[in-house]
Amino acid sequence: MCRVFSVAVLVSTLLFVGLFRPMVATVANAADAPVGTTQPLSPHSGVVVWWGVGEVPAAVFERLANVEANSAVAVVARDGDISPGLKEWCNETNRPIEVVRPDTPRLQEKLLGYKVVWIETKNLPQDTENIDYLVVSDQFLDDLPSETLIEKLSSSPGRVGVGIPASTALIAKGRKLEVVGESDVVFCLPASLGRPDHRPTKFLRNKPGTEADLFELTRSALARRGAEFPAKQPDSPDVPHGALLACGGGNLSDSIWQRFIDLAGGIDSPIVVIPIAMPNPDEPNPKDLTKLKQLGCQRVKVLNQHTKADVQSSEFVEALKEARGVWFVGGRQWKYIDAYEGTSEHLFYDVLKRNGVIAGSSAGAAVQAEYMVRGSPLGNREIMAEGYERGLNFLPGCAIDIHVTERGRLKDLVSLVQTYPQLLGIGIDEDTAVEIQGSVMTVLGNRKVNIVNSRIPEPTAIKSGDRFDLATRQLLPEK
């Protein structure tokens, strides 16, 4: 049975204010997060439910269906009031109700004995990590002072506003936010005030049955509070030490794999494969590992650590301190950001400083650039995903897109560069790669690479063997 959000976390991160009707919640971020950070809160297991006034949506109780049968429900209520929907559900499922006053001595310890805790007051208990489900009723919202959403956001930069109408609920499980009930839930991102790029207040409307990602929303709000990104004048594209190898996805030719091995120092060099972007990062033998072993590599280690604590473990750190080559596996690039941003970037930069190579295919290529494309955890169709725009920045001033011809993505890359003309767009086809040393990019493989440069009207297609200077944005003569 999974655990609920810690209520201590709930209090510090989910503050509710009423906007008359419907109810409006303000999702706050960590109070001690430094200005400019895009790091959201850590994910939590369990289920938390909020809803507007009126009848509780049936989906609220559907989410409680797997709770241990006949287990009692603790109702934290100031005057013994119990929501009618809760009474009906408890009667139907033969669950006893036990009312607990918020001023009960040693309240936290008492609540730990329950699988479900239903909060009917604003006096939230603390430290209830072992409770499986926490439910906050609309009465909790009514107890707080009424204040408009925009006013609240303007006084609390870095927050996300959430409007929940009557007979509608927002169900949070881990990082996933699901809308259920009769109406849309509206998320509001505050304007980025005092910045040259001034992003206006943004409203996102989610229909019942749709999902939002808590991390993407909170990262978006924090990004709007921080420094402008991308900068109007980013650093020049340059890899002063070592090399990058960014591959466009698909089945890569042996010649591309061999080039990675050569750049890493040969088959006897220590190589790290990082598969955490995959749907199953715990797969013991990812195909990339198998391929490297087939080509004779003797010292390949898989690092599938992906939590903040694990990526700072001695095993992870020591492996990267030794590595001459790092291979980022394809999948979803946002997973690399969640794991490594603010924790491990320096370890990868050190590989380059030792004249090693950072490489990867598909997501493992996109994450290498300063601007990361297609970063939304909800899907990869949109090339710009606010909140997940920052890559690991091994290649400044650039954005790398992948599967470009095969998935018809060139128009998207053009649109990105039109939005941010300071960036240089690099669109790589499948079975194709770019090797970058210094500011010189060389094309490898069997298809092509499209350069999207705001200084010229049309993308420039270059083929295997062509060299391009990223700093001057010019095609170099053949050797």
Within this chain, do residues 13 and 36 fall inside the same structural domain, yes or no? yes
Q: Which residue has the higher pLDDT, 170 or 424?
A: 424
Within this chain, do residues 254 and 328 fall inside the same structural domain, yes or no? yes
Find out whether 189 and 360 touch, Cβ atoms under 8 Å. no
214: Cβ contacts below 8 Å, ≥ 6 apart: 27, 40, 41, 43, 172, 175, 176, 177
Name the band, by pLDDT with cuts 50, 70 and 90, for residue 24: very low
Within this chain, do residues 275 and 347 fall inside the same structural domain, yes or no? yes
Place of tokens 């013994």: 80
> Would you state the structure tokens that stand for residue 232, as one six-digit string?
């109007």
Across 4-12, average pLDDT: 24
Last residue of a domain, one of 174, 195, 225: 225
Within this chain, do residues 202 and 280 fall inside the same structural domain, yes or no? no
Judge whether residue 207 has pLDDT over 90. Answer: yes
Last residue of a domain, one of 193, 225, 257: 225
CATH number at residue 340: 3.40.50.880
Judge whether residue 114 has pLDDT over 80. Answer: yes
Which of 149-163, 289-303, 343-357 comes out lowest in average pLDDT?
Answer: 149-163
Within this chain, do residues 161 and 248 fall inside the same structural domain, yes or no? no
Q: What is the domain count for the chain?
A: 2
Which of 64-73, 420-429, 445-454, 465-474 comes out lowest in average pLDDT?
Answer: 64-73
Judge whether residue 202 has pLDDT over 80. Answer: yes
Which of 60-74, 246-260, 293-307, 347-361 comes out lowest in average pLDDT?
Answer: 60-74
Mean pLDDT of the chain: 83
**pLDDT value of position 12:** 20
Judge whether residue 346 has pLDDT over 90. Answer: yes
Name the band, by pLDDT with cuts 50, 70 and 90, for residue 37: very low
Across 88-95, average pLDDT: 89
- CA dist 72 and 403 (Å) reads 53
Across 118-132, average pLDDT: 57
**pLDDT value of position 117:** 80
Judge whether residue 39 has pLDDT over 90. Answer: no
Judge whether residue 113 has pLDDT over 70. Answer: yes
Judge whether residue 147 has pLDDT over 90. Answer: no
Give the residues across from 300 on adjacent strands. Answer: 271
Across 447-465, average pLDDT: 97
Does residue 73 form part of some domain?
A: yes
**pLDDT value of position 234:** 97
Judge whether residue 214 has pLDDT over 80. Answer: yes
Q: Quick one: which of 4, 201, 196 has its CA closest to 114?
A: 4
Q: What is the pLDDT of residues 43-82, one digit of tens each?
A: 444 566 776 667 788 888 887 887 777 888 888 887 767 8
Establish whether the linkage from the previous residue to 22 is cis, with ω within 30° of 0.
yes
Does residue 134 form part of some domain?
A: yes
Which of 150-164, 180-194, 214-228 comes out lowest in average pLDDT?
Answer: 150-164
**pLDDT value of position 124:** 54
| Dihedral sign for Cα atoms in the order 214, 220, 223, 225 | negative
Highest mean pLDDT among 39-43, 65-69, 90-94, 169-173: 90-94
Within this chain, do residues 246 and 208 fall inside the same structural domain, yes or no? no
Q: Which residue has the higher pLDDT, 103 or 429?
A: 429
Q: Which residue has the higher pLDDT, 203 or 263?
A: 263
Give burial (CB, 10 Å; 0-12/13-18/19+) of 307: middle
**pLDDT value of position 20:** 23
Within this chain, do residues 158 and 292 fall inside the same structural domain, yes or no? no
Q: What is the reported pTM?
A: 0.83
Give the residues across from 25 on adjacent strands. Answer: 16, 162
Judge whether residue 14 has pLDDT over 60. Answer: no
Q: Write out the residue range of the structural domain in which residue 162 sits.
A: 7-225
Across 309-336, average pLDDT: 95
Does residue 178 form part of some domain?
A: yes
Within this chain, do residues 264 and 174 fall inside the same structural domain, yes or no? no
Does residue 295 form part of some domain?
A: yes
**pLDDT value of position 375:** 98
Does residue 1 form part of some domain?
A: no
Across 231-246, average pLDDT: 97
Which of 23-32, 237-246, 364-373 comes out lowest in average pLDDT?
Answer: 23-32
Residues of the chain above pLDDT 70, percent: 81
Across 414-434, average pLDDT: 98
Last residue of a domain, one of 195, 225, 255: 225
Judge whether residue 142 has pLDDT over 80. Answer: no
**pLDDT value of position 150:** 65
Does residue 130 form part of some domain?
A: yes
Does residue 392 form part of some domain?
A: yes
Within this chain, do residues 182 and 243 fall inside the same structural domain, yes or no? no
**pLDDT value of position 273:** 98
Judge whether residue 392 has pLDDT over 60. Answer: yes
Within this chain, do residues 186 and 124 fall inside the same structural domain, yes or no? yes
Does residue 230 form part of some domain?
A: no
Within this chain, do residues 137 and 269 fall inside the same structural domain, yes or no? no
CATH number at residue 16: 3.40.50
Within this chain, do residues 160 and 285 fall inside the same structural domain, yes or no? no
